[in-house]
Each structure stands twice: as structure tokens, then as C-alpha cells.
Structure 1
Amino acid sequence: MTTLTPGTWKLDMSHTLIGFIVRHAGISKVRGSFNDADATLTVGDSIADSRVEAAVQVASFDSGDENRDAHVTGEDFFDAAQHPQMTFVSTGVEGTEEEFELTGDLTIKGTTRPVTFDVEFGGATVDPFGATRAGFEATAKISRKDFGITWNAALEAGGVLVGDTVTITIDAAFVRSED
């Protein structure tokens, strides 16, 4: 199956990676993920009539380093205690079913900004258990400062510890709901 059928699709988090990449100390990159999210994809009769809503649990941040994870989910960065979720609500889709731009409102730490993801549809299939699945890859770049995440530390040689540009990478699997 190479096309999406109209209807409601739910995120399969056990087969999804919501990742990030940010420059560290100006010389390398830190990568990590958020490991708890919910999303609903509503596929319309055309790609332009489709929409997605997602909520990511900030406390599920995982960079592979417990100290960094505690700092990033704390007040200096995401402030997960006050802002437990990041959300995305799509406002438009343009392109073909195979490759499209998904534009929407991304809310992080109480600040909402428009963001456009470049999305590639990986295909759809029926798994051995009878569930209809679809896969997508999506990327976007945001400025963390645009969302009020401004903490940084100056480096002795110049520059700062944490880059401003964050690349969001998503490899998502959705399962079609029985309507």
C-alpha cells in the first residue's frame, strides 16, 4: 500500500523517534530525544485537507546524560514543572502525498510560533497483526530563543556553550484507528 486512506491515525510511540540536534561549544553537536508523546493525524480526501495535533511530554527529554537532562528540563531551559508539554497544531499542508510541507503552531514553554516541517511519506502497509501503519520523516529548524529558552554560558575562547538553532527530527509511525 503506498497511499494513505482518509481517517484518523494515532501515533505509535514505540516505533517513533522525536529527536533534536543542537550545537555544543561551537565544535560538536548534542543529540537526543523526547520519549513520550501523543499525536493524532486526520487524513482528509486530499493532502491539503489533512491535519495533525501532537503533544510531547517535556519530562521525557533524554540526551543520554542525567545531569544535562535535569538541567534542560529545569527552569533554565524547558521548565517542565511549569510547562509540562510542547504542542503542535497544524494549520496547513502543501505539496504531494509523498513530500510536503506541514505548517503549524508550535508551543514551547508557553510561547507559540509558526513552524514548517519538511515531511517525507515513507509509505503505508498492513502489519502481520492486521493494523494499517504509515511512516513519515519530518525535519524543521527553530531558534530556541524564539521560544524563550535563552540560557547560555560564554566560552573562554569566544562563543557560547549552546547553539541557538535546534534541528527537530521526527521518524514517526502512525496506526489507523477504526472509525
Structure 2
Amino acid sequence: MGITSGSYPLGPESGRLIVNTTRTGLGAKAGHDLTIEVTRWRGDATIDVADPAGSSVTVEVDTGSFEVREGTGGIKPLTDSDRRDIKKNLQEKVLHVARYPTITFRSTRISGTAESFRVEGDLTIVGVTQPVTLQGLLTEDRVRGSATIAQTRWGIRPYSAFFGTLKLSDEIEVRFDIGLPRGREPDGSASSP
């Protein structure tokens, strides 16, 4: 049995929300391409299998829950101290966590098929709301997809160091891989055989 129509709660217990950054500038070889996981988030997906346009999704992210999982490239490996410094800079200089404790996404239009869909919606980061489009795939009991986000559209200046010779690229990729309970009713109870 595949996914059935209904409402599904979303969060870290059901899947992963990942942010990937890349570096640019003359000093790019000194930095790292980062894989950052959002560890506290929640949402709701209402799925209409027969009519994807009748579906919707909302997600709220705790901006203080970004954890650096991996840093690739660079002259030397990413240390625990580097991870702490990156998290501190992300919270204080990029996302301004004290003032903007959440990032929200609310779909405005869903098109395509259940297997291959496009979600258009409003993404609010640091108090600024801009439209964004996610591309996704539904296979068996998993929803996977991504969106590319240009930070400057939200008024965010990409992080830079070493007098601007090392900086993060404006565009970041947000990926999601979320499991939906297969063979279960959307409210979480087991379906009858």
C-alpha cells in the first residue's frame, strides 16, 4: 500500500532537513562546503493523492537548531572548534536567532503528480517573506526534494572571512528526505488489513 490522502505530521522523527553551502572567492580553498542539519522543526503535510493541487504543506524551523554535520574540501579537516564557530556566526551574524527565532514555509500552490511535484510557497527568513519553489518526488513512503535559495533575496549577506577573500556562495541548497508512514492511516493508527 502506498501513501493515502490525509494529514501527516512532519518533524525530525520523520525525516531530515539539510542545508548545503558552497564557497567562493580567492580564498575558497581554505574554507569548507558545509552540510548543515536542522535538528528542531515541525510541520504538517495535507496530501490529496487524487488531486495534488488540493495538497498543502507548512513547516516551522527553530533557527537555533542548525548543526554543522560535515565540511568537505578545504586545506584541513573541519574541527569541533570550527563547527562551534560556524554555528555561532550562523546564529548571531546570519540568522539573528535572538530576534528571529523561526523560519517558516507555507505552500501557496502545488502542481504536478503525486510522484513528481512542484511546491510553490512563501518562505520567511529574518522577518522577510519571499516566494520559493521546491521540486519533489514521492516514492513509496518517502518524500524527497530540494530548493535553491539565494540568501540576498532575504536581505542576508552571505558569510565572508579573511577580508572577503573567503565567502559562502549566495545560493544555498535546502534538501528534504521525509518518511511518511506506509500502511498506516494519516492520524498514526494502523490500518486494517
The interval holding the TM-score normalised by the smaller chain is 0.7 to 0.9
Alignment of 1:153-168 (within 5 A): 153=160, 160-168=166-174
Secondary structure in 1 matching 2:64: helix
Letter of the 1:23 counterpart? T
Deviation at 1:174, TM superposition (A): 3.5
Is 1:56 matched up with 2:66? no
Partner of 2:187: 177
Distance in 2 (CA, whole Å) between partners of 1:151 and 1:140 is 17
Is 1:35 matched up with 2:35? no
Distance in 2 (CA, whole Å) between partners of 1:86 and 1:14 is 19
Q: Find the partner of 1:69 among 84, 87, 106.
A: 87
Partner of 1:109: 126
| TM-score, length basis structure 2 | 0.78
Deviation at 1:122, TM superposition (A): 2.1
Partner of 1:129: none
Distance in 1 (CA, whole Å) between partners of 2:68 and 2:14 is 18
Secondary structure in 2 matching 1:115: strand
Deviation at 1:80, TM superposition (A): 0.8
The 1:151/1:101 distance shift into structure 2, 3 A limit, reads closer
Identity of aligned residues (%): 23
Q: Give CA-to-partner distance per residue, 1:80-101, whole Å, 9 cap, x none.
A: 1111110000011111110110
Instruction: After the TM superposition, list the runs of 4 or more consecutive aligned residues in structure 1 that deviate by more than 6 angstroms.
Output: none
Larger Rg: 2
Deviation at 1:159, TM superposition (A): 5.0
CA RMSD of superposed structures (Å): 2.0
Is 1:123 matched up with 2:140? yes
Deviation at 1:178, TM superposition (A): 5.5
List runs of 5+ in structure 2 lacking aligned partners.
70-82
Secondary structure in 1 matching 2:153: helix
2:158·2:169 contact (CA, 8 Å) conserved in 1? no
Distance in 2 (CA, whole Å) between partners of 1:53 and 1:42 is 9
Distance in 2 (CA, whole Å) between partners of 1:143 and 1:68 is 19
Deviation at 1:177, TM superposition (A): 1.6
Number of residues of Structure 1 aligned to a counterpart in Structure 2 = 166
List runs of 5+ in structure 1 lacking aligned partners.
125-134
1:12·1:173 contact (CA, 8 Å) conserved in 2? no
Q: Find the partner of 2:111 among 66, 90, 94.
A: 94
Deviation at 1:15, TM superposition (A): 3.6
| TM-score, length basis structure 1 | 0.84
Is 1:145 matched up with 2:163? no
Deviation at 1:173, TM superposition (A): 2.3
Q: Give CA-to-partner distance per residue, 1:130-157, whole Å, 9 cap, x none.
A: xxxxx2111010101111211543657x
Letter of the 1:58 counterpart? T
Higher strand share: 1
